[in-house]
Structure 1
Amino acid sequence: MISVNEKAVKLAEKMMHDPEAYKVKVYSICGANIIDAGVEASGGWEAAKLVTEILFGGLNEITLETFPERIGDVYYNAVHVHSDHVVLQQAGCNISGWELRPGKYAPVLAGPGRTVARKAGDWLEKYSDYSDKYHKAVLTVEKGTRMSEDEVQDLIDATGVEPQDLYIILAASGSTVCSVEVAARILEQTLHRMTEEKFNLDNIIEAHGFCVVPPVVKDDLIAMGRLNDVLMYGGQSTFTVDCEDSEIEAVIGKITSDKCSEYGNMFQKIYQEHGCDFYKVPMEMYSPAKVLIINQRTGKSFKAGEFNLAVLEKSFNYTVNDK
């Protein structure tokens, strides 16, 4: 059986062994390995690439390219991703939000490490019964400050590995690493919507996609808004499946962001109007801009959604002076 943590640990250790090259800082809290890739350290594009590959379970490389559309007459970077084990990579490793204490503590956390210790009630239960038996674990945390000892101990306890075998990669919303790895969640954003609309995940063969990488801003609220805007308005996913055309027809018209009543607004505005609570934002808003589903069985392609460059331009030009 594939061990996503075994593969991901090798990538984490590459950064640890050459922190200067990757522009990261390495230290220990409670015996766990902390890799600061975007809080006190700036983090670089190569670190962003490795962190994204960690969030794909170490199973696929990612590339950085140019977004094919101009936004406000400017070309921006884009992240291009491929996924050969879609459910395992996107649901097991890439989906964020892990409720460590029911109803109380759900940090913006992802990574293969959540597959080492399967927790009752975790979102992963909806997707897969995969469990990784490797003795080491890798997690990523989106946070603008250093983690406390209590927070680190929570993750040690949650994974059940020895402290020295836990690798925690830390990056703020307003960092290059976070900008790239969140944009790369375009496939996870699509998978979760397909799941909500009851598509049979066993039909999925592979997936690939791309998403514009937002410009970095050292303001957590604005950065968080841009990170969600690029997925909703500037990302496309392509899924290859094997099923009846009718199964695709049942979901294709429901899984893109333009089907949501809040469509056309910057995510920051939507978030604030719902009390700054992610769970109160309409689920349909957490959808990709564009989706293409190719049916391997019949050869027919189905597409939905569109890019919204006007909203992206507004988002990318919204600054701390506008708050």
Structure 2
Amino acid sequence: MSLKSLSNAPSISDGADAIVRQLVDNADAFRLGVSRSSSGVTLIDAGIDKRGGLEAGRLITEICMGGQGRVSVHGGSGISDWPMAISVHSVNPVLACLASQYAGWSLSHKESKFMALGSGPARALAQKEPLFEELAYRDRSSRTSLVLEVDQVPPDALLEKIVADCGLASPEELTIILTPTQSLAGITQVVGRVLEVALHKVHTLGFDLDKVVDGLGWAPLPPAGGDFLKAMGRTNDAIIFGGTVVLQVDADDTEAEKLALEMPSQVSKDYGTPFAELLKQFEFDFYKMDPNLFSPARIVINALPSGKRFVAGRVDEDALTRALDGQ
């Protein structure tokens, strides 16, 4: 399937590059660490040895989206016990979310037992995922960036493999951004996937991605800190119980209503249990969970031909509070 919406799409690596430069040039202000690997890859520490912060996380979220989305962090989530929220908007959500932000590149190094999922524009250069055959999108750029949700620096051998897989002329053309889940930047960029989670669900349901015209999403930002399990639970609960996504689709009312009804997280048989508990229950294997769970709580689909709006699901404030207080 070749998507018409991506036929003349811009370079997401080039789109993210100016934001990457902003992080590097203002590293002290953003409380980031910038260093070079032994081979010359730029490494940005956004929460391992450096504190990082919400603003760094906001910009990293825009990098994950290949510069094709706008992200804001603000007070007033509309949920009494969650006073902060993140909002994400893209005029090209398929490109921003599926071709860039989705953490779909599996990376590992056996000797060091390092494992991570890569998110960001480098994915569209490496083309390691079957998804790109469907999207029919290949980025072409001389430099790129990749975001890893980890608390350790990748081994040099893996960094060199990423450079080669992306077809870069030298390691100096690659930037790796490291965001531990429990860090301020980490919680921001994870919950900042609220729109991406919705787009992934749209794709899983088999809806024609060419009909997705615009996307907006928001979700409450949970507290940072604690251990990995606590942070992983809180960030996913924020989307599953508290996320809202609005999609503008060029589809008839029947298609739009069907999409709305099938999308919310509440359709999942695993809905209602805090995510950290599910992780332990399924032995930390995401693939054992019901895939229907991975979606925002509330979905609004606007069918552009008719102008009708279809709403399904709801923000579950009680479940959010129970998940937060129980950890």
- TM score, norm. by length of structure 1: 0.92
Q: Distance in 1 between matches of 2:193 and 2:284?
A: 21
Counterpart contact for 1:144–1:220, Cα < 8 Å: no
Listed as ranges, the matches of 1:111-150 within 5 Å are: 111-119=120-128, 122-125=129-132, 127-150=134-157
| Letter paired with 1:87 | V
Q: Which of 218, 222, 233 lines up with 2:230 in the alignment?
A: 222
Q: Which of 86, 91, 99 lines up with 2:98 in the alignment?
A: 91
Q: Distance in 2 between matches of 1:280 and 1:88?
A: 28
| Letter paired with 2:153 | R
Could you tell me how far 1:232 is from its partner in structure 2?
Answer: 0.3
Q: Distance in 2 between matches of 1:232 and 1:314?
A: 13
Q: Distance in 2 between matches of 1:126 and 1:225?
A: 32
Listed as ranges, the matches of 1:194-233 within 5 Å are: 194-233=202-241
Please tell me whether residue 261 in structure 1 is matched to residue 275 in structure 2.
Answer: no
Aligned to 1:51: 60
Listed as ranges, the matches of 1:288-303 within 5 Å are: 288-303=296-311
3-state SS of 2:43 partner: strand
| Letter paired with 2:24 | M
Q: Distance in 2 between matches of 1:112 and 1:275?
A: 31
Please tell me whether residue 174 in structure 1 is matched to residue 178 in structure 2.
Answer: no
Uncovered stretches (5+) of structure 2, i.e. residues with no partner: 1-8
3-state SS of 1:62 partner: strand
Report how many residues are paired.
315
Change (3 A) 1:256 1:225: same
Q: Distance in 2 between matches of 1:242 and 1:69?
A: 29
| Letter paired with 1:57 | G
Q: Which of 258, 271, 277 lines up with 2:279 in the alignment?
A: 271
Please tell me whether residue 246 in structure 1 is matched to residue 254 in structure 2.
Answer: yes
Could you tell me how far 1:203 is from its partner in structure 2?
Answer: 0.7
| Letter paired with 1:268 | A
Uncovered stretches (5+) of structure 1, i.e. residues with no partner: none
Could you tell me how far 1:100 is from its partner in structure 2?
Answer: 4.5
Please tell me whether residue 11 in structure 1 is matched to residue 19 in structure 2.
Answer: yes
Q: Distance in 2 between matches of 1:269 and 1:247?
A: 35
Q: Distance in 2 between matches of 1:246 and 1:262?
A: 27
Counterpart contact for 1:9–1:167, Cα < 8 Å: no
Q: Distance in 2 between matches of 1:252 and 1:75?
A: 26
Listed as ranges, the matches of 1:1-40 within 5 Å are: 1-29=9-37, 30-40=39-49
User: Between the two proteins, what is the percent identity of the paired residues?
Assistant: 29
Describe the superposition over 1:75-107 as per-residue Cα deviations: whole angstroms up to 9, x where unpaired.
421111111111110001110131347xx9862
Q: Distance in 1 between matches of 2:164 and 2:260?
A: 40
| Letter paired with 1:70 | I
Describe the superposition over 1:153-188 as per-residue Cα deviations: whole angstroms up to 9, x where unpaired.
332233221200001000100011111111111111
Describe the superposition over 1:303-322 as per-residue Cα deviations: whole angstroms up to 9, x where unpaired.
11111112221222244xxx
Q: Which runs of 4+ in 1 moved over 6 A?
A: none
Q: Distance in 1 between matches of 2:229 and 2:49?
A: 18
Counterpart contact for 1:291–1:305, Cα < 8 Å: yes
Describe the superposition over 1:198-248 as per-residue Cα deviations: whole angstroms up to 9, x where unpaired.
111111110111111111023011111111111101110000011111112
3-state SS of 1:8 partner: helix
Q: CA RMSD in A?
A: 2.0
Aligned to 1:312: 320
- TM score, norm. by length of structure 2: 0.91
Aligned to 2:78: 69
Aligned to 1:184: 192
Please tell me whether residue 109 in structure 1 is matched to residue 87 in structure 2.
Answer: no
